[in-house]
């Protein structure tokens, strides 16, 4: 029996959302890992049908756990940087701010990585210039000649922390969830 794709996950990273697919031959133990449609690892025959498959997405460590559920049924779980994907995604939504905005007729993805203050436009890190203002900071950059900045101001509440807003050509862009920014 040939291998077939048995699992698919979306992994949100600061430079984009990566699609991970896993192929598993339940009679041969064959395994293949695909990232964004490209096969990065393939094993045609393995004696163990269960276990784990390790790989990286850029510098991010990933592990697919294969566990037998009953008979010839299997469960596939993806761990990213040691955390189950759901927990990793939850953490990413805390450290990434994401916006989708039309620029020159095309939807553009802008991501702020809050812990490094790096800004990504359509998965590419861009040069920025920071500026202090009376009510916070502004991180300036441009998209195809359009003036943009991310404004960070205090919420006034310790638990909420900073509030971020993307301004493109003087217009505020509503924030999107990390899931929407795929």
Q: What is the pLDDT of residues 47-90, one digit of tens each?
A: 678 889 999 999 999 999 999 888 778 999 999 999 999 999 99
**3-state class (DSSP) for residue 105:** coil
Q: What is the pLDDT of residues 3-52, one digit of tens each?
A: 679 999 999 998 889 999 999 887 777 899 999 999 999 988 766 788 89
Assign 182 a pLDDT band (cuts: 50, 70, 90).
Answer: low
- Higher-confidence residue of 2 and 138: namely 138
Residue 1 has pLDDT above 70, yes or no: no
Length of the chain, in residues = 182
Q: Which CATH number fits domain 4-81: 2.40.128.180, 2.60.40.3950, 2.10.109.10, 3.40.50.150?
A: 2.40.128.180
Residue 156 has pLDDT above 90, yes or no: no
- What CATH topology corresponds to 92-176? Lipocalin (2.40.128)
β-pairing, 96-103 with 106-113?
antiparallel
pLDDT at 45: 72
**Nearest residue to 153 (alpha-carbon basis) of 141, 167, 143:** 167
Q: What is the pLDDT of residues 103-149, one digit of tens each?
A: 999 999 999 999 899 999 999 999 999 999 998 999 999 999 999 99
pLDDT at 49: 80
Same CATH fold assignment for domains 4-81 and 92-176: yes
**Nearest residue to 51 (alpha-carbon basis) of 81, 29, 80, 73:** 29
The structural domains of the chain, with segments of one domain joined by +, span 4-81, 92-176
């Amino acid at each position: 029996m040939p291998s077939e794709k048995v699992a698919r996950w979306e992994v949100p990273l600061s430079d984009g959302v990566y699609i991970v697919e896993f192929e598993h031959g339940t009679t041969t133990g064959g395994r293949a890992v695909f990232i964004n449609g490209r096969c990065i690892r393939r094993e045609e025959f393995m004696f163990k049908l269960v276990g784990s498959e390790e790989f990286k997405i850029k510098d991010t460590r990933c592990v697919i756990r294969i566990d037998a559920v009953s008979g010839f049924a299997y469960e596939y779980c993806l761990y990213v940087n040691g955390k189950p994907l759901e927990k990793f995604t939850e953490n990413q939504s805390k450290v990434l701010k994401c916006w989708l905005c039309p620029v020159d007729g095309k939807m553009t993805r802008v991501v702020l990585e809050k812990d490094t203050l790096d800004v990504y436009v359509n998965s590419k890190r861009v040069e920025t210039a920071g500026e202090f203002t009376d009510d916070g900071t502004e991180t300036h950059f441009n998209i195809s000649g359009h003036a943009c900045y991310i404004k960070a101001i205090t919420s006034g509440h310790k638990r909420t922390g900073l509030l971020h807003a993307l301004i493109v050509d003087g217009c505020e862009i509503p924030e999107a969830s990390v899931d929407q920014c795929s």
